[in-house]
């Protein structure tokens, strides 16, 4: 039996989503799927609508974040997307823990470039208590040198009490991404579970750390998978939601997964903004590879980006990022400005701040839809309408032309003798 399709007028859809975003009200799954199903002709309308929600909660500010890879490569986990994974043949930098002074020097480059938050990342399943001691020393060193800078730790799965120790050392936030939907999580990782990741985010929140958790798009997932993970994030209620676009690096299992276009990336970012209207939505890894010349347009949807290079791959030059922000009519968020809207900033980790807006009312997120439907050959739609599946999303598209020319392994900054590009 054919799956019924809901015909949604595009402008009615966008007006509804703007109204809900301004009230912090959760869209329906059908509305979120419909955003992903909009046509290229409607793309600027989608960006303009989501831009209204972005400006309501964040004005024209862009927060800059800077990554410091404290320990690179040789991870025992088997995450298919990661160049640091067990068995990876990617020719990335591999080094053990940076000393606190080395990490402080790396962080200083990002702060000098305008970064408000430094993100300390280490490969591995999760930190030992000795690792927590190391990172705590690094946090203290950075805080001593840069008063007011935010520090976010990303060290993998946390054990009991470790989040509290990081908070006591001065950490402001903890990052642990959900990455994809619960139903497809086992397809990309087998050495830990989706529930493990949720537990770590909740441990961070319970310790008073600002939770940062997001996703990776472009791993062959369906629209339904994307909606599932974003709805789950809305339920988990992190303050920051980084949106990564897969960088298909040679030597990893997903090296041939080239499914994203700049237009697709913009729709995904718009959908995230509508579902998480007052969260810090961060444009993260892969923006240069997949958005390319349309990066400035994405600033109308996100209010945060990473400056310079990523963990194992090169990013856009820091000065180019700053020029892009200015040329697009946005401004770099200053250290004296509170990133989050007042109602979130005053709450513990942002949880419970949405009152009757529906945040948290959908439990752990909707179950993934499994099968998919297709509208190929359907000519019953009229101009200005969006055909959205009531229950399922189309399967991922066939791989596009690989833009391996845009993927470069990081050879500078942390772990090297060369200056970073911040």
Look-up of token digits 């301004």: 22
Strand 304-306 and strand 61-71: pairing? Answer: parallel
Kindly state the tokens that stand for 204: 């961070």
Give whole-number Cα distances, 116 to 330, 382, 390, in Å: 16, 47, 42
- The torsion angles phi and psi of 306, rounded to 5 degrees, stand at -90, 140
DSSP 371: S
Question: 363: alpha, beta or left, given left = phi > 0 and alpha = psi -120 to 50?
Answer: left
DSSP 273-296: HHHSTTSEEEE-TTHHHHTGGGHH
Strand 385-389 and strand 5-9: pairing? Answer: antiparallel
- In angstroms, the CA 315 to CA 384 distance is 37
**Do the Cβ atoms of 386 and 37 come closer than 8 Å?**
yes
**Do the Cβ atoms of 421 and 413 come closer than 8 Å?**
yes
Helices (H) and strands (E) counted in the chain, each on its own, are 14, 12
Give the distance, in angstroms, between the CA of residue 29 and the centroid of all CA atoms in the same chain: 20
DSSP 394: P
Kindly state the tokens that stand for 263: 């237009």
Instruction: For residue 5, give the H/E element and its range.
Output: strand 5-9
**Do the Cβ atoms of 335 and 114 come closer than 8 Å?**
no
DSSP 64: E
Please list the active-site residues: 75, 79, 82, 119, 152, 212, 282
Rounded to 10 deg, the angle between the 29-36 and 223-236 helix axes is 130
Look-up of token digits 């470790």: 162
Kindly state the tokens that stand for 82: 């990661």
Q: Is 417 exposed, middle or buried (0-12, 13-18, 19+ CB in 10 A)?
A: exposed
Nearest Cα to Cα of residue 333 among 154, 117, 173: 117
- In angstroms, the CA 413 to CA 102 distance is 10
């Amino acid at each position: 039996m054919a799956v019924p399709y809901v015909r949604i007028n595009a402008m009615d859809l966008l007006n509804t989503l703007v109204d809900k975003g301004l009230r912090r009200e959760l869209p329906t799954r059908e509305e979120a799927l419909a955003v992903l199903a909009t046509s290229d002709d409607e793309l600027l309308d989608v960006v303009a609508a989501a831009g209204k929600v972005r400006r309501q909660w964040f004005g024209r500010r862009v927060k800059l974040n800077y990554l410091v890879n404290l320990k690179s490569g040789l991870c025992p986990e088997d995450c298919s997307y990661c160049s640091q994974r067990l068995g990876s043949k990617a020719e990335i930098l591999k080094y053990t823990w940076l000393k606190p002074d080395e990490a402080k020097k790396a962080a200083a480059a990002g702060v000098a470039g305008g970064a408000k938050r430094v993100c300390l990342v280490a490969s591995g399943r999760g930190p030992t208590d000795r690792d927590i001691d190391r990172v705590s020393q690094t946090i203290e060193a950075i805080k001593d040198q840069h008063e007011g800078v935010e520090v976010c730790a990303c060290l993998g799965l946390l054990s009991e009490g470790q989040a509290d120790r990081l908070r006591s050392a001065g950490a402001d936030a903890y990052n642990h991404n959900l990455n994809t939907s619960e139903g497809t999580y086992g397809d990309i990782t087998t050495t830990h579970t989706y529930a493990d990741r949720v537990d770590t985010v909740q441990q961070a929140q319970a310790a008073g750390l600002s939770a940062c958790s997001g996703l990776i798009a472009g791993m062959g997932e369906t629209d339904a998978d994307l909606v599932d993970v974003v709805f789950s994030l809305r339920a988990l209620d992190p303050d920051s939601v980084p949106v990564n676009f897969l960088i298909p690096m040679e030597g990893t299992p997903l090296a041939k997964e080239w499914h994203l276009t700049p237009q697709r990336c913009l729709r995904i970012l718009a959908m995230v903004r509508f579902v998480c209207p007052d969260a810090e939505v961060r444009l993260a890894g892969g923006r240069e590879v997949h958005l390319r010349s349309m990066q400035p347009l994405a600033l109308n949807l996100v209010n945060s980006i990473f400056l310079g290079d990523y963990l194992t791959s090169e990013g856009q030059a820091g000065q180019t990022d700053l020029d892009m922000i200015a040329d697009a009519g946005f401004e770099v968020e200053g250290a004296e400005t509170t990133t989050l809207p007042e109602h979130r900033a005053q709450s513990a980790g942002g949880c419970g701040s949405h009152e009757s807006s529906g945040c948290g009312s959908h439990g752990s997120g909707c179950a993934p839809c499994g099968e998919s439907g297709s509208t190929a050959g359907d000519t019953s739609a009229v101009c200005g309408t969006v055909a959205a599946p009531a229950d399922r999303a189309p399967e991922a598209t066939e791989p596009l032309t690989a833009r391996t020319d845009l993927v470069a392994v990081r050879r500078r900054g942390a772990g090297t003798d060369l200056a970073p590009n911040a």
